[in-house]
Structure 1
Amino acid sequence: MKLSDLATGERAIIVRIVGGGALRQRLTEMGFIKGTEIEVIKNAPLKDPVEYRIMGYEVSLRRSEADKVLVNKGEGSKEAKQTKGSPIEPERGDFSAKKHLRVALVGNPNSGKTTIFNHISGLDEHTGNYSGVTVGAKTAVVEYEGFTIEFVDLPGTYSLSAFSPEEKFVRDWIIDKKPDLVVNVVDVTNLERNLYLTTQLLEIEQHIVIALNMYDEFRHTGDKLNVPYLAQLLSSPVIPTVGKRGQGVAQLLEKIAYYRYAPLRKINYHPELEELIIAAEKEIRPANHTAFPTRYLAVKLVEGNEAFENIGLSDKIIRERTKVEHLYNDNAETLVAQCRYAFVNGALKETLQKTDSPKENISIKIDNFLTNKYLGLPIFFAVLWFVFYSTFTLGQYPTDWIELGVDFLKNIFERILPAGAMSDLVVNGMLDGVGGVLIFLPNIVILFFFISLMEDTGYMARAAFITDKLMHRIGLHGKSFIPLLIGFGCNVPAVMATRTIENRQNRLQTMLITPFMSCSARLPIYVLICGAFFPENAANVLFLIYITGVVLAIATSLILKSTIFRGKQTHFVMEMPPYRIPTFESIGKHCWNKAWQYVRKMGGVILLAVVIIWFLGYYPNHGGEREGDSYLEIIGKTIEPAVSPLGFDWKMGVGLMSGVAAKEIIVSSMSVTYDTEGHLAQRLQQEVTPTGEKVWTTATALSFLSFVLIYFPCVAVVSAIRRESGAWRWALFTIFYTTSLAWVVSFAVYNLAQLITRL
């Protein structure tokens, strides 16, 4: 029977995976091998995907992918075939004679790798409880007892098969850079799955130190592990760690600095497979001009790995491989994976003692509520609404305090500086412009607090699980939801996070709709306009703006799916990490870093833009001493015909034009150009035309909000799209598409709002 035929709560034994290709490879590497027990946990609220438990962890698959897995309910659990070796006492070498070391950190997603990196290096790289937080290599140099150690934090990966961009990046980096040592960070609460990557590190002949992370959680389960004996079986040092508290990090540093080379543990395969691998080694050894170890290449060729098909095998070995596959009634790729898991199971059988009364899985209990088929989606939308409501309402109090502080500074400088250009620059330029953005800092911090909370607890992965069916219908992947949600904080890391999506088509599609996610840079504009013109319903209008961005992203995705990105969609296989209580230190550092980045931007690009805008607005009329329009007004009135159909005057047009560099500059620009007395919100409310009519109306405000939501993403986002897509055409497409759509939508909103107002 098929895995998809099982009902919630049912268990079965995996028989085989039908078909081939990337799906089979991914499932095999994640433990879907013959004889393994699997249990159905629950269906997503929309019945797809389905969450399963296998090898002690949770993973979600679409039903169409579960159809490929054949299971048997009638068989009991089968012991995995063991491939044992006698314990090896590490041999001494002279590694410590080398004083400059390069060490790479490698591990599965959610293993706590970056947390350990932070404790070792003293950096504050953000970590999150979901796949793909680290999307590039981060480096730190540490001095330790006379050693200079360069640590490199590589992306989280399940294997080195080059199935995803992260896997290829990690594998190629290790082969090309040849680190002195790899610290393999392992989630000790899920050893069977995590040690699969360890076997592959050994296969590429890489010396490793294993960090058994989250050891506090492991102790809580009641299980026991013979750590010294496990180190002997793997022929590698093993150090228990608790990354979030820094426990074990000192011992890890000591082991790295004074590491002694030992013979690498060899992974043995079925006798027939081993003969094939040896034969393949003999064939490719004379022609191996790559940096890859010959045995590793031989294993990959026997597996049929497409990345090395240019090397090729002789017809004789291919025929022998076919015979072996018929003998075991499975393909060579799956047989190799089974042997790796057999090696892991053999080591764990001798070292791991499971408790007779395992503690109840807290994550399952929480999920029964948060991803409930009836409550899952309502809870999710309620969470989003609460985030935006809190961002506006809670941020109002500190915003008022900062505004009073800015006014206090303005009064001081007005008194101590003589009237003239300098006074006008400082008070009406720099303090008005920069202060107009600074007052929204609390809103930014609150938004990032909630995003960080969702990341660290593991709710991000649940959001992808809940929304996958909806995402799939618009041509996206469930994993696409994570970058899109990150986009509410900043579109640049959101674009970079699309690297976690294996399929290039889905990756590009997600990248191109990410700018519709309202980043924190737009938030000051939203808060300003909503507070000024919708004071009674500001939070609701703010939520509506964010939802509108999501709707536009969906519509754009559907258009792209039916035009540019036609074709087969990638599968959905995603680990469901356990819920974890975030530490105050982690969330505090994340919020502090984002706040500091925001403040630094105000002291850099925003301050520069404010000075330029002030100069263009002050000259050539020198503050009114000479008649005539300022440079800024000349520019604004030149572009006014293009924006007047949207209800905008030249001042709004100038603000929008300045926002191309960074969206926060729009508020700074408006603070300078609207030079009437009072706070900026009051200035907008009081602005009138020469005929005495209000410049800003409800229709104008809605149109302006719509345009800011949609048009030209900032220069940094355009640059990120060009870099991640590898082509300028996608960056240029984003510029022209978003700006054109912004004009059309704002025109429609303005005229519709005017029509409704007249009724």
Structure 2
Amino acid sequence: MGKKTIHIALVGNPNSGKTSLFNTLTGLNQRVGNFPGVTVDKKTGHTPISNSLSGNIIDLPGTYSLYPKRLDEWVSYRVLLNQDKDIHADIFVVVVDASNLKRNLLFCSQILDLKKPVVVALTMLDLANKKGIEIDVPELERELGVPVVSVNPRKNKGIVQLKKALELTASQAYKIPVRDFIDNKAMATAPIDDLKKLVPSASDYSAIHYLINHEEFQLSPAMQEDIENIERKHAFNPTRTQANEILQRYGRIKHIMQVAVSEPDPMQQTILTDKLDNVLLDRKWGYLILLAVLFILFQSVFYLAQYPMTWIEMAFSSFSSSLAQSLPDTWWTDLIINGILAGLSGILVFVPQIMILFALITLLEDSGYMARISFLTDRLMRSVGLNGKSVMPLISGFACAVPAIMSARNIENKKERLLTILITPLMSCSARLPVYTILIGLVIPNHYLLGLFSVQALVMMGLYLLGLAMGLLVSFIAKWFIKSKERSFFILELPTYRAPRVKNMVQTMVNKARIFVTDAGKVIMVISLILWALSTFGPGRMGEVQDHYKTEIAKNPAKADSLRVVMNTAKLENSYAGILGKSIEPGIKPLGYDWRIGIALITSFAAREVFVGTMATLYSVGEDEQGMLLRDKLRAAKKEDGTPLFTMATGISLMLFYLFAMQCMSTLAITRRETKSWKWPIIQFTYMTTIAYVMSFIAYQLLK
């Protein structure tokens, strides 16, 4: 006979240790997705409870009370009020932070009054003891009327006892308390009685929530009208009822604190967290330390990721070369090598950056410093319509916009999250570096100011700062056009500093990489194959071009390599992508570009760094120049009138275009996934391309 499975929901305040408990219970048996219709992480997992019982566990978003204000709080609220048709929990494990017991008990007491099967997991008892707080757990259990288990997920303590309490609750050895935590019925006796006639299964406290939030519930129009009538009939006042409830709850909690908790003198010496915050949140030192931390983060992502990224590229290059040699020279071989393998390479090459970036972000979150970053930058971010929590996605965007946009999920306000997603691609990601490097080397003289500061390095830094400044400007303008009824609250609890856990970092890295490969990867593959087709096929002349050059190669075998390069360039010119390049040439000529740069702009939509490879193909000419470096070939490139193509004006114009233009289908794919709409990727593509065109036009016309 198989094990019985029960559904367990973990609920609690933010930073109460809920996620640590989830990770300890489920280990690697967990999945990360999204709650239906909401871009909020949905973490589910499996854990054995006893020989005859196993548990499916869902980690609900943290919330402070049953009066939701944010998107993620509504997710938890709907599950607790049985209004989520996809998620049903048999038992709720309420995670309570022992070092902040008074505040945590508010939410806990509200759940108890919903008449749910509850087990309280008391976390951070060691931290409470350091603060001089002593909790009488048996007395607390008697006052609450439900099992209370002290756990320390980080040290795997109390997990066995917690599972035993779950088993006893599942077998109904522990009963739901008959008596309410406070006298809910007295707050609105007549409305509650009438409501319970409509919903007989509702507790007195659930009835109050039906009266307050029924518009958000999945009820029939007739039921909605009946509840409205009850409110009108009894002149039910939600605000007064809520205020009365909170006062009564804190009155009862005060009694519990007196009988079950021993607290020290408030004047006692502050603990290590307070001492660190005096430095890290200082108006001067705090910002300097923040800049240093972000610099190290950015440099680490860039330097650590370049090695595995290079290995992935080399592995794909080697595999492609071996396939090219072993397979016949047909269209389907080209499809496999330049379509499918190139597309896979474009997906997998991002994985090291995603894994390293999220590992470092998890390290900052686990240590407690991430909350301080948001706190320090909130004032600047708020002035342009963002939020203190926007700073990490923006900084992460300097490595790669894809994981950066994914990390914007922790911004609760929908408008601020959307603004962050829209401007993150303006940060200069590492894919732009090859473009910057080759163009700066091509058109910027290698001089030093005052013998110390490299002009080329200053231009590179200027590009990064210009992207950030433009992002903040766009957000400032866009905040007036994106409307939202959702009020912005920057309520942030500063958690205590803790040692990061390697296990948690590894789990996050694996989960984020899997989400990227399976979700965004599908879109990237489709667009890669479309680009391959556009670059490979063309109208009738393609066959004539190929036949002509094959004849020339047969006549001049010694020049076969250089003729093949010229043939590939001619084929590209006559492909649909080449025709597109020629057709957009009149539009890009005012920017200083020719049709070859136009093709590079189109092909680098797959990934910006493709620009360099496209240039290498397009500007490879004659046998006598085979030894030339790409930079020298570009320097030698001429316009149709014989003048140099890559002047200072063209180079600056092209750098600005790559700085501002949305040329990354991976980013558009992830924006579509996070916003669940094509509207915002289209807006993102349109405004960025417009800015790129205008800025490049101004730069070229001024400098030419």
- TM-score, normalization by structure 2: 0.74
Aligned to 2:365: 455
- Quickly say closer, same or farther: Cα 1:217–1:302, change in 2 above 3 A: same
How big is the shift at 1:180? Answer: 0.8
How big is the shift at 1:701? Answer: 5.4
How big is the shift at 1:198? Answer: 0.5
Q: Are 1:722 and 1:728, in contact at CA under 8 Å, matched by a contact in 2?
A: yes
Provide the secondary structure at the position in 2 that maps to 1:573: coil
- Quickly say closer, same or farther: Cα 1:437–1:179, change in 2 above 3 A: closer
Is the counterpart of residue 333 in structure 1 residue 242 in structure 2? yes
Partner amino acid, structure 1, of 2:176: P
Which deviates further from its counterpart, 580-589 or 530-539?
530-539
Which deviates further from its counterpart, 205-214 or 605-614?
605-614
Is the counterpart of residue 362 in structure 1 residue 272 in structure 2? yes
Is the counterpart of residue 262 in structure 1 residue 175 in structure 2? yes
- Bigger fraction of residues in helix: 2
- Quickly say closer, same or farther: Cα 1:166–1:434, change in 2 above 3 A: closer
Is the counterpart of residue 638 in structure 1 residue 560 in structure 2? no
Aligned to 2:9: 104
Q: Are 2:122 and 2:149, in contact at CA under 8 Å, matched by a contact in 1?
A: yes
Aligned to 1:181: 91
Aligned to 2:686: 736
How big is the shift at 1:172? Answer: 1.2
Q: How far, CA to CA, are the matches of 2:375 and 2:426 in structure 1?
A: 21
How big is the shift at 1:164? Answer: 2.1
Aligned to 1:686: 633
Aligned to 1:59: none
Q: Are 1:103 and 1:182, in contact at CA under 8 Å, matched by a contact in 2?
A: yes
Q: How far, CA to CA, are the matches of 2:192 and 2:122 in structure 1?
A: 33
Question: Which of 479, 490, 494 is matched with 1:576 structurally?
Answer: 494
Q: How far, CA to CA, are the matches of 1:481 and 1:584 in structure 2?
A: 24
- Quickly say closer, same or farther: Cα 1:638–1:243, change in 2 above 3 A: farther
Q: Are 2:520 and 2:670, in contact at CA under 8 Å, matched by a contact in 1?
A: no
Which deviates further from its counterpart, 551-560 or 623-632?
623-632
Q: How far, CA to CA, are the matches of 1:644 and 1:497 in structure 2?
A: 39
Aligned to 2:467: 549
Aligned to 1:228: 138
How big is the shift at 1:417? Answer: 5.4
Q: How far, CA to CA, are the matches of 1:559 and 1:385 in structure 2?
A: 28
Q: How far, CA to CA, are the matches of 2:472 and 2:256 in structure 1?
A: 48
Is the counterpart of residue 346 in structure 1 residue 268 in structure 2? no
Equivalences for residues 28-67 of structure 1 within 5 A: none
Q: How far, CA to CA, are the matches of 1:229 and 1:335 in structure 2?
A: 27
Equivalences for residues 412-423 of structure 1 within 5 A: 412=322, 416=326
Aligned to 2:109: 199
- 1:49-90: per-residue Cα shift (whole Å, max 9, x none)? xxxxxxxxxxxxxxxxxxxxxxxxxxxxxxxxxxxxxxxxxx
Q: Percent identity?
A: 32
Is the counterpart of residue 278 in structure 1 residue 189 in structure 2? yes
Provide the secondary structure at the position in 1 that maps to 2:57: strand
Which deviates further from its counterpart, 612-621 or 333-342?
612-621
Q: How far, CA to CA, are the matches of 1:674 and 1:448 in structure 2?
A: 37
Aligned to 1:113: 18
Q: How far, CA to CA, are the matches of 2:323 and 2:603 in structure 1?
A: 26
- Quickly say closer, same or farther: Cα 1:420–1:694, change in 2 above 3 A: farther
Aligned residues: 636
How big is the shift at 1:182? Answer: 0.9
- Quickly say closer, same or farther: Cα 1:470–1:439, change in 2 above 3 A: closer
How big is the shift at 1:204? Answer: 1.8
- Quickly say closer, same or farther: Cα 1:434–1:731, change in 2 above 3 A: closer
How big is the shift at 1:598? Answer: 6.5
Aligned to 2:58: 152
Q: Are 1:212 and 1:239, in contact at CA under 8 Å, matched by a contact in 2?
A: yes
Provide the secondary structure at the position in 2 that maps to 1:582: coil
Equivalences for residues 484-499 of structure 1 within 5 A: 484-485=394-395
CA RMSD after TM alignment: 4.8
Question: Which of 103, 107, 122 is matched with 2:27 structurally?
Answer: 122
Equivalences for residues 382-531 of structure 1 within 5 A: 382-393=292-303, 395=305, 409=319, 412=322, 416=326, 445-481=355-391, 484-485=394-395, 505-506=415-416, 508-517=418-427, 522-523=429-430, 525-531=431-437
Aligned to 2:547: 625
Partner amino acid, structure 2, of 1:689: A
- 1:512-542: per-residue Cα shift (whole Å, max 9, x none)? 4344345xxx42x223223434477887666
Q: How far, CA to CA, are the matches of 1:421 and 1:725 in structure 2?
A: 37
Higher relative contact order (CA 8 A, sep 6+): 1
Partner amino acid, structure 2, of 1:574: L
- Quickly say closer, same or farther: Cα 1:285–1:730, change in 2 above 3 A: same
How big is the shift at 1:447? Answer: 4.0
Partner amino acid, structure 1, of 2:260: T
Question: Which of 198, 203, 206 is matched with 1:293 structurally?
Answer: 203
How big is the shift at 1:676? Answer: 4.9
Q: How far, CA to CA, are the matches of 1:246 and 1:647 in structure 2?
A: 64
- Quickly say closer, same or farther: Cα 1:398–1:571, change in 2 above 3 A: closer
Partner amino acid, structure 2, of 1:645: P
- 1:447-506: per-residue Cα shift (whole Å, max 9, x none)? 444433333323332222222222232233434445545655765676677676665554
- Quickly say closer, same or farther: Cα 1:545–1:196, change in 2 above 3 A: farther
